[in-house]
């Protein structure tokens, strides 16, 4: 069916699937799952309160749902996909150039869009310039749009923001805050539904494992690092796999596990050549 003839229920269903949400996840605290099913199938029309709640959870405006997505929204999505590509390949200079040249922030209006923007900006400030204060400010601003301590249905980007904040605080020597953010992000990964366990979260294992290594908590550091390696292998991803193999090798050295250390460091070199 052409998008211009998409029914209201079909739009809700499409947006839900694009966000990797089940009917249960979207309906929780708003309406019964059976009601949402009837809405998506065009059998029932929701009242205004339910409709607004659904739109809020999908991070879209009512106008977007009723009139589908405009060319401007598609353009923003394309720009974000480009920036995200550079992030995955650790091309932070290209990320910064794209963020500035596109004037992306001038075209945003959804909380989740601002959240992504400040995550990307904070990453550039950290990796390119080691501007710790600026990075912390950007990452906290991004987190403030949607996250609170008692929130349910945590998103992968919120976990990445928490992890990145912990990493930056660790570099500033603020051990207490570093541990809080890194441990929180690590524990929240376990609460994510399977369909939301994106491969980008592998970096959170590396960030926490590196911190524990620096704190000389070698047993726990190796456990976290090896969990990250398993995650990468299960998702067939090389993202941060080289770094995790290298980290595991260094940890094993400190634990006097000579053969294990050699194996991990060899694997790190192997992944580096593949990349």
Transcribe 140-162 into DSSP letters: HHHHHTT--TT-SS--HHHHHHH
Do both 128 and 25 map to the same domain? no
State which of 11, 38, 67 marks the end of a domain: 67
Most confident of 38-42, 192-196, 244-248: 244-248
State which of 197, 227, 258 marks the end of a domain: 197
Q: Are 154 and 188 in contact (CB under 8 A)?
A: yes
Q: Per the domain annotation, does 210 fall within a domain?
A: no
pLDDT of residue 33: 93
Q: Are 138 and 122 in contact (CB under 8 A)?
A: yes
pLDDT tens figures, 62-103: 777 766 545 566 778 889 999 999 999 999 999 999 998 888
d(CA 19, CA 60): 11
Q: Per the domain annotation, does 176 fall within a domain?
A: yes
Do both 143 and 86 map to the same domain? yes
**What pTM value is reported for the model?**
0.75
pLDDT of residue 70: 55
- List of residues 6+ apart from 116 with CB closer than 8 A: 80, 142, 157
Q: How far is CA 95 from CA 113, 198, 266, in A?
A: 16, 20, 31
Do both 94 and 44 map to the same domain? no
d(CA 83, CA 81): 6
Do both 181 and 129 map to the same domain? yes
Do both 169 and 81 map to the same domain? yes
Q: Are 202 and 228 in contact (CB under 8 A)?
A: yes
Q: Whole-number mean pLDDT of the chain?
A: 90
Residue 244: domain span? 217-275
Token pair for residue 91?
A: 């091309």
Q: Per the domain annotation, does 138 fall within a domain?
A: yes
Whether residue 53 has pLDDT greater than 70: yes
Q: Per the domain annotation, does 209 fall within a domain?
A: no
State which of 13, 33, 67 marks the end of a domain: 67
The conformation of residue 47, written as its DSSP 8-state character, comes to P
pLDDT tens figures, 164-186: 999 999 999 999 999 999 999 99
């Amino acid at each position: 069916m052409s998008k211009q003839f998409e029914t209201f229920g079909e739009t809700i269903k499409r947006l839900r699937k694009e966000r990797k949400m089940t009917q249960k996840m979207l309906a929780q605290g708003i309406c019964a799952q059976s009601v949402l099913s009837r809405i998506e199938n065009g059998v029932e029309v929701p009242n205004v309160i339910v409709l607004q709640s659904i739109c809020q959870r999908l991070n879209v405006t009512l106008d977007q749902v009723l009139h589908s997505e405009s060319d401007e929204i598609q353009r923003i999505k394309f720009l974000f996909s480009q920036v995200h590509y550079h992030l995955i390949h650790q091309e932070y200079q290209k990320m910064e150039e794209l963020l500035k040249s596109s004037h992306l922030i001038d075209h945003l209006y959804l909380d989740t869009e601002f959240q992504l923007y400040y995550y990307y900006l904070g990453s550039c400030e950290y990796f390119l310039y080691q501007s710790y204060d600026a990075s912390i400010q950007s990452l906290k601003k991004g987190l403030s749009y949607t996250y609170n301590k008692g929130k349910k249905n945590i998103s992968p980007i919120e976990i990445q923001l928490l992890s990145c904040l912990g990493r930056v605080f660790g570099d500033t020597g603020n051990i207490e805050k570093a541990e809080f953010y890194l441990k929180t992000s690590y524990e929240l990964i376990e609460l994510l539904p399977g369909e939301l366990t994106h491969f980008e979260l592998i970096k959170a294992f590396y960030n926490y494992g590196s911190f524990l290594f620096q704190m000389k908590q070698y047993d726990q550091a190796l456990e976290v690092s090896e969990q990250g390696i398993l995650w990468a292998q299960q998702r067939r991803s090389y993202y941060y796999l080289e770094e995790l193999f290298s980290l595991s090798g260094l940890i094993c050295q400190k634990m006097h596990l000579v053969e294990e250390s050699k194996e991990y460091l060899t694997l790190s070199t192997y992944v580096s050549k593949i990349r």
